[in-house]
Amino acid sequence: RKHSEMRMKDQRVQTHPCYSKDAHKYARIHLPVAPACNIQCNYCNRKFDCSNETRPGVVSKLLSPAEAVHRFQAVKKRMPELKVVGIAGPGDPLANPNATLATLKGVAEIDDDVHLCVSTNGLNLPEQVDALAGVGVHHLTITINSLSAKTASELYSWAYFNNQRLRGIEAAEALIEQQMKGLKLASEAGILVKVNTVLVPGINDGESLSALAKEIQSRGALLHNVMPLISDPAHGTFFGLNHIPGPDKEQLEAARKVAGMDMQQMTHCQQCRADAVGKLDSDQSCASKELDSSVAT
């Protein structure tokens, strides 16, 4: 049994374009059904897509779960290489559990071959691992930027947790605790977990990154995606704080090298939109007229 589980895992890695560079012939679609968010990252501007997984500075038009399933169906018809359906915003999918689960369920009902994929900040993850596994999610991304509450408190303004708005260290501690719990539970449930880390120079590079890579490795993460902060003062990057420039190529490479001592690094991330569709190297957006007319209700 162990052997067949391993084979299944390999197959799930090899057919997901984010998990394997060699899977570039497969396409993914993001369905933008999740508007709300339960934390405030300082590098996020709420007018745009979630910057934990996706490129900041673009706005995806929200869909209802029914519209999203319809879009999937229409795109799949003319894109047989479509292999992954991801929910990655524009806010946090698990802060919108009903829409996220209804969409995933709807997709799974019409196509049992496609991989279901979710990207989250992890705040609500422990309580939802069972529901995600239940609808057949095998690929999950958690954005974890630091293990240190002090560092994290520079990256987040607040977290809305257990019906309370937490701030500062308290918010950071709650978030990290939930991320760590959720990561372990998800890996134990057989979900292939990728961790994204948004590299913010001077804040979460260096030592804290090495500790993070070690910890996520021990909790069962499969892949680590250290992604650059894309900062543009025009987008209000670093909400409430001074503008911080993103890392240059050397800084990014150095960080990946540090984290790479413990975790396999993903280096081909495209920082997709919350409504991206296509292969990673030839992206289209679902906001394009052509796709929109194909899913007009």
Q: Which residues of this protein are in contact with ligand SF4, per CB under 6 A? A: 37, 39-41, 44, 50-52, 91-92, 121
Decide if 147 contacts 208 (C-beta within 8 A): yes
- Answer whether 32's CB lies under 8 Å from 73's CB: no
Binding site for ligand CLF (CB under 6 A): 18, 28, 30, 53-54, 84, 86, 88, 117, 119, 139, 141, 225, 269-272, 280
Residue among 140, 265, 137, 289 nearest 197 (CA): 265
Nearest CB to ligand SF4, comparing residues 55 and 70 = 55
The binder of 255, among ligand SF4, ligand CLF, none, by C-beta within 5 to 8 A per type, is none
Partner whose footprint covers residue 44, from ligand SF4, ligand CLF, none (CB < 5 to 8 Å by kind)? ligand SF4
Q: Give the gyration radius of the chain's Cα atoms.
A: 18
Residue nearest to ligand CLF (CB): 86
DSSP 62: P
Report d(CA 283, CA 45) in Å as an integer: 23
As measured in angstroms, the least distance from the Cβ of 62 to ligand SF4 is 13
Residue 43 and residue 286 in contact, taking contact as beta carbons nearer than 8 Å:
no
| CA separation for the pair 285, 292 (Å, rounded) | 10
Nearer to ligand SF4, 82 or 174 (CB): 174
Smallest distance, Å, CB 180 to ligand CLF?
20
Q: Hey, what's the torsion of the CAs at 272, 275, 277, 283, to 10 degrees? A: -40
- Least distance to ligand SF4 from the beta carbon of 51, Å? 4
Of 129 and 166, CB closest to ligand CLF: 129
Residue 40 binding target from ligand CLF, ligand SF4, none, CB below 5 to 8 Å by type: ligand SF4
**In the complex with ligand CLF, which residue's Cβ is closer, 117 or 209?**
117
β-strands 276-279, 27-30: how paired?
A: antiparallel
Residue 30 interaction partner, one of ligand CLF, ligand SF4, none, beta carbon < 5-8 Å per kind: ligand CLF
Residue closer to ligand CLF, measured from CB, 56 or 86: 86
Strands (E), 46-191: 82-87, 115-120, 137-143, 156-161, 164-167
Tell me which of ligand SF4, ligand CLF, none is bound by residue 210, counting a contact when its beta carbon lies within the kind-specific cut-off of 5 to 8 angstroms.
Answer: none
Is 116 within 8 Å of 140 (Cβ atoms)? no
Residue 272: contacted member of ligand CLF, ligand SF4, none (CB under 5 to 8 Å, by partner type): ligand CLF
Q: At closest approach, how far in Å is the CB of 169 from ligand CLF?
A: 29
* Closest by Cα among 45, 240, 254, 217 to 153: 240
Residue 50's binding partner among ligand SF4, ligand CLF, none (Cβ under 5 to 8 angstroms by kind) is ligand SF4
CA dihedral sign, ordered 181, 185, 187, 191 = negative
Pick the closer one to ligand SF4 by CB: 18 or 41.
Answer: 41
